[in-house]
A and B are shown apart, each in its own frame.
Chain A
Amino acid sequence: MKAFLAIIRKELLEFLRSYGLLIVVLYSFTLDVYIAGNGINLDARNVSVGVIDYSPGFISNKILSDLHYPQFQEPVFFTSQEKLNLAIRNKEIMVGIVFESDFEKRYHTGNNPVLNLLLDSTASTQSYLALNYIRHILMRFQDTSSLAPAEIQIHKLFNPNTSYSHFMALSEFLSIITLLAVILTAAVFVKEKENGTWDIMLLMPTDAKAVILAKSLSQVIIVMVGTFVCVGTVLFGIFDLPINGSLAAFMLLTFFYAFTSAGIGLFIASVSRNIMQVAQLSVLIMMPLIFLSGAWTPVYAMHPILECLSIISPLRYYIQGSESVFFRGTALIDLWEYFAGVIVLGGVMFWYGFRKIGKLF
């Protein structure tokens, strides 16, 4: 027990003294998550609009006045179709709207008025969203009662503002935990190999199991502290992320998950000779796990084969569990399947990594 604590103490000390690593970890848990939450934006924003108006202009101006900030820029008027086409080709304009001369007449007579839209779909998400906005705007100029017998009332659950930043920041943060737990754990072993202290470590009259466990735990502690910092400052402080479930449940899930990642780290440490190899292997192993987890693409939207494979990504359970805690407010008891997923897969991974590195002792 004494040696166990001595190892944890030593690893934490060494971590705090290696300023480069400390900065990278701090950056990952704060700025990186902030940038992901704030910087990656899939919303339609500041869409440039070009207009050719051949109609008298009453209705068309009414419609155009609805295209405003933050979704749209002030419409730019063009005098000919060629000029508009050129502007779209040159990426100056994303959405082109052409009002035909008989547009207003047809509108008033109810004779199928036609609005021509030109979209630059190289920015597919943005132009698609812009199209949707314009559709919504046009809906208001239509007598909808003849189309649908009911009025639509929308209630958005769990994330009423459909804010992307909440989702992105959380996803990024969960991926960061994975990556750091893997790399830190692997590095803590491989550094001994690099510095030539590996032999000395092996010759200590301490049980190999205790050494491995203490070293892994020390890095899990670092990740847990980072989690506290990130949740407290960035997620709650800056993004004002709501938490509908219990924070303790999330922390517990994170703790188990950190050990899962540490298990992968142990495996990497057992086959790498230097930090360079750790970095390469980590990326190689982590990327599929993150892709399969549903961090970037929802699991149900994946190819059926990948969807099946995602069952073995512990990050999948961790992400779904965390989102349930934060957004849905799921009670601890109902989180059991996520806990089970993380603990079972994590148990297997940690056991395997433990055995792999144990052979070197």
Chain B
Amino acid sequence: MNRLQVRKVSVTYRKKTGLKPVSLEATGGEIVGLIGADGAGKSSLMHAIAGAKSFDGEIKFDNHIYSSPKEAEKVKGSIGLMPQGLGLILYEQLSVNEHLDFFADIRGIRQDSAFKTYRERLLHMAGLSDFTERQAGKLSGGMMQKLALICTLLHRPKLLLLDEPTTGVDPLSRMELWDILNDIIAKEKTLCIVSTAYMAEATKMDRVFLFEDGEIIDKGKAGELIEKVRPFSYEAAPEPFEKSITIHGYTYSLKPLKLKPKEPTLDAVFFINFIKKYGPIPEISIVHKDRDEDVPATIMEAKGLTKRFGEFVANDHIDMELNRGEILGLLGANGAGKTTFIKMLLGLLPIDDGELFLLGERIKSSDDRQILKAKIGYVSQHFALYKGMSVRENLRYFANMHHIESERISGLIREYANTLGFYRYLDVLPTDLPMGINQRFSVAAAIMHEPVVLFLDEPTSGVDVVARAVFWEMLQRLKDEWNIAILITTHYMSEAEFCDRVVLLRDGKKITDDTVKNLYQIHPDAHNFEDIFLDYYNSN
């Protein structure tokens, strides 16, 4: 039987522990989910099982025991690993057919009639039957991911390891990916291990393992896990209680409280675990700043903004408005045009067509932007900061670049570090910091010069649940205290809830632009934003 036993497997990198000793068992026909943020140890475990990374401990699969990549060689024929990253295993210049031929060849599969039928079935399931001659580079993100999946399935692996197959994929393609998986597992009795950063996908799995900091903090069926934390979840308390966390409309507490209980989600497991380990979340506040009221109400106005890359239209006549004191969420799958749009706003990419107004001024050339730069804050994807300098040195550099008076800088750094809760990390290099701290410190670097508008490009991807919640709380306060305008892009549809207004992009086009409240009214059947967006994807 396809039985997998993982016994005390741990992975260490040169400096850090990737995965503390983990044991688990699973059998064929099961979908096992690994849920957690980037760097929580999910990928490490998958690569260890696949024999792609050396590890300590022992793994048994298919009656073979191995404890090193070399010994794993004998089971590799029955394992299929799809690494993290959109279309990472694909070759842009090869067509869909050529991919299937190539993967069949390197796996040494005989191209008999049974294989041909199986191959047709896979193509059909992936909805790629009509695109067999198209080059992979010209497929959409969702299609690429489906192609990558069927390439991994081609040799009928008994153990399927999928590392974040759905991250950044549009909701419709995500549903289709799950359909393919369920179909295959039902027919082939494959054991499937899937990792995901989307909590909502836990319900699609038979069992889940929740990862944090290289450890499994809980495991079981999604329903059972939620049951376990039900007694600790309450409606948000108006005032903070001792040893409790109040966030996103919930209050979590280990001690019983006299509050109305509230139906928890899987997120609650992470919060409860956090309280057990570290106690309540340290309070985050925002440095005080006098409101300047002479800022125009409309910060940014885009009219028919268009960007083309050759034939490809990345942004197709997008109209958008960003107002003072508003968090605008720009949502969409990878490749929908979110980053392109932000880059056009910032002048990092030339505008091909359309008009852009920033702070009431029409932007025509880069000279028009020069004065505005002092009023804009920008946090780029992956929090790009200078790795060779400590947090303090980084902040000092940015303060100097923004011409802040030298006498004020040290005090300012201390103030931001204190309020945003990274004071004890001031002399640490960014590469040694947890993602959540990096995230807050890069925001500090972007707002020290007190901009009137803040652009954030995917600031929450790869950050764990608690840090993400704290981050949204911080943005909310920043908006309230400074009356600043915030434009944020994300591929987590669920984060739309925390925005004031949402713009949804799909294939470079705007498909909706409305307040969160209105969207719920238009879609009364929807339980969450995932459902709302699925409606839009389905209707087109």
Which residues on A are within 8 Å of B, measured CB to CB?
2-3, 5-7, 9-10, 13-15, 17-18, 195-197, 199-200, 202-206
Enumerate chain B residues within 8 angstroms of A6, measured Cβ to Cβ.
396-397, 400-401
Q: How far is the CA of A203 from the CA of B376 in the complex (A)?
A: 8
Interface residues of B in 385-403 (CB under 8 A from A): 385-389, 393, 396-398, 400-403
Q: How far is the CA of A328 from the CA of B179 in the complex (A)?
A: 83
Q: Is there contact, CB below 8 Å, between A205 and B400?
A: no
Q: Is there contact, CB below 8 Å, between A197 and B400?
A: no
Distance in angstroms from B170 CB to nearest chain A CB is 24
A-B residue pairs in contact (CB < 8 Å), sample of 19: A5-B400, A10-B389, A13-B388, A14-B386, A14-B388, A15-B388, A17-B389, A195-B384, A196-B382, A199-B346, A199-B378, A199-B380, A199-B384, A200-B378, A200-B380, A203-B346, A203-B348, A203-B373, A203-B378
Q: Is there contact, CB below 8 Å, between A197 and B397?
A: no
Q: Which size class do B's interface residues fall under?
A: 20 to 34
Q: Is there contact, CB below 8 Å, between A202 and B384?
A: no
Q: How far is the CA of A273 from the CA of B393 in the complex (A)?
A: 26
Distance in angstroms from A9 CB to nearest chain B CB is 8
Q: How far is the CA of A116 from the CA of B398 in the complex (A)?
A: 79
Q: Is there contact, CB below 8 Å, between B403 and A3?
A: yes
Chain B, Cβ-Cβ closest to A203:
B378
Enumerate chain A residues within 8 angstroms of B401, measured Cβ to Cβ.
3, 6-7, 204-206
Enumerate chain B residues within 8 angstroms of A15, measured Cβ to Cβ.
388
Chain A, Cβ-Cβ closest to B372:
A205
Enumerate chain A residues within 8 angstroms of B388, measured Cβ to Cβ.
13-15, 17-18
Q: Is B374 an interface residue (CB 8 A)?
A: yes
Chain B, Cβ-Cβ closest to A196:
B384
A-B interface contact total, Cβ < 8 Å: 67
Enumerate chain B residues within 8 angstroms of A200, measured Cβ to Cβ.
378, 380, 384-385
Q: How far is the CA of A122 from the CA of B381 in the complex (A)?
A: 61
**A6-B396, A205-B374 known, 20 other contacts, Cβ within 8 Å:** A2-B406, A6-B397, A6-B401, A9-B397, A10-B386, A10-B393, A14-B389, A17-B388, A195-B387, A196-B381, A196-B384, A197-B380, A199-B346, A200-B380, A202-B348, A203-B376, A204-B398, A204-B401, A205-B370, A205-B403
Q: How far is the CA of A206 from the CA of B380 in the complex (A)?
A: 18
Enumerate chain A residues within 8 angstroms of B382, measured Cβ to Cβ.
196
Q: How far is the CA of A204 from the CA of B382 in the complex (A)?
A: 18
Q: How far is the CA of A200 from the CA of B442 in the complex (A)?
A: 11
Enumerate chain B residues within 8 angstroms of A13, measured Cβ to Cβ.
388-389, 393
Interface of A is mostly: helix
Q: Is B60 an interface residue (CB 8 A)?
A: no
Chain A, Cβ-Cβ closest to B402:
A205
Q: Is there contact, CB below 8 Å, between B389 and A199?
A: no
Q: Is B343 an interface residue (CB 8 A)?
A: yes
Distance in angstroms from A123 CB to nearest chain B CB is 47
Distance in angstroms from A186 CB to nearest chain B CB is 17
Enumerate chain A residues within 8 angstroms of B397, measured Cβ to Cβ.
6, 9-10
Q: Is there contact, CB below 8 Å, between A199 and B343?
A: yes
Q: How far is the CA of A205 from the CA of B397 in the complex (A)?
A: 13
Q: How far is the CA of A5 from the CA of B347 in the complex (A)?
A: 26
Q: Is there contact, CB below 8 Å, between B385 and A197?
A: yes
Chain B, Cβ-Cβ closest to A13:
B389
Chain B, Cβ-Cβ closest to A201:
B401
Enumerate chain B residues within 8 angstroms of A3, measured Cβ to Cβ.
400-401, 403
Q: How far is the CA of A9 from the CA of B388 in the complex (A)?
A: 12
Enumerate chain A residues within 8 angstroms of B370, measured Cβ to Cβ.
205
Given contacts A197-B386, A199-B348, contact A204 B373 (CB under 8 A): yes
Q: Is there contact, CB below 8 Å, between A196 and B380?
A: yes
Chain A, Cβ-Cβ closest to B383:
A196
Q: Is there contact, CB below 8 Å, between B403 and A2?
A: yes
Chain B, Cβ-Cβ closest to A361:
B366
Enumerate chain A residues within 8 angstroms of B343, measured Cβ to Cβ.
199
Q: Is there contact, CB below 8 Å, between B400 and A2?
A: yes
Enumerate chain B residues within 8 angstroms of A203, measured Cβ to Cβ.
346, 348, 373, 376, 378
Distance in angstroms from A116 CB to nearest chain B CB is 65
Q: How far is the CA of A196 from the CA of B458 in the complex (A)?
A: 14
Q: Is there contact, CB below 8 Å, between B389 and A204?
A: no
Enumerate chain B residues within 8 angstroms of A9, measured Cβ to Cβ.
397
Which has the most chain A C-beta neighbours within 10 Å: B382, B387, B401? B401
Q: How far is the CA of A202 from the CA of B366 in the complex (A)?
A: 11
Distance in angstroms from A275 CB to nearest chain B CB is 14
Q: How far is the CA of A202 from the CA of B347 in the complex (A)?
A: 9
Distance in angstroms from A25 CB to nearest chain B CB is 15
Enumerate chain A residues within 8 angstroms of B346, measured Cβ to Cβ.
199, 203
Distance in angstroms from A124 CB to nearest chain B CB is 49
What 0/1 readout, one digit per residue, does chain B (322-366) give for beta carbons within 8 Å of chain A?
000000000000000000000100111000000000000000000
Enumerate chain A residues within 8 angstroms of B386, measured Cβ to Cβ.
10, 14, 195, 197
Interface residues of B in 257-275 (CB under 8 A from A): none
Enumerate chain B residues within 8 angstroms of A199, measured Cβ to Cβ.
343, 346, 348, 378, 380, 384
Q: How far is the CA of A203 from the CA of B366 in the complex (A)?
A: 11
Q: How far is the CA of A199 from the CA of B383 in the complex (A)?
A: 11
Enumerate chain B residues within 8 angstroms of A197, measured Cβ to Cβ.
380, 384-386
Enumerate chain B residues within 8 angstroms of A18, measured Cβ to Cβ.
388
Q: How far is the CA of A196 from the CA of B371 in the complex (A)?
A: 23
Distance in angstroms from A210 CB to nearest chain B CB is 10
Distance in angstroms from A348 CB to nearest chain B CB is 26
Q: How far is the CA of A196 from the CA of B389 in the complex (A)?
A: 15
What 0/1 readout, one digit per residue, does chain B (446-457) give for beta carbons within 8 Å of chain A?
000000000000
Enumerate chain B residues within 8 angstroms of A10, measured Cβ to Cβ.
386, 389, 393, 397
Distance in angstroms from B12 CB to nearest chain A CB is 22
Distance in angstroms from B369 CB to nearest chain A CB is 9
Q: How far is the CA of A245 from the CA of B386 in the complex (A)?
A: 43
Chain A, Cβ-Cβ closest to B349:
A199
Enumerate chain B residues within 8 angstroms of A204, measured Cβ to Cβ.
373, 398, 401-402
Listed from nearest, the 6 A-B pairs whose CB atoms lie closest are A6-B400, A196-B384, A14-B388, A205-B373, A17-B388, A205-B374
Q: How far is the CA of A240 from the CA of B400 in the complex (A)?
A: 45
Enumerate chain B residues within 8 angstroms of A205, measured Cβ to Cβ.
370-371, 373-374, 401-403
Q: How far is the CA of A310 from the CA of B153 in the complex (A)?
A: 61
Which has the most chain A C-beta neighbours within 10 Å: B343, B347, B389? B389
Interface residues of B in 28-52 (CB under 8 A from A): none
Q: How far is the CA of A93 from the CA of B214 in the complex (A)?
A: 68
Q: How far is the CA of A3 from the CA of B396 in the complex (A)?
A: 11
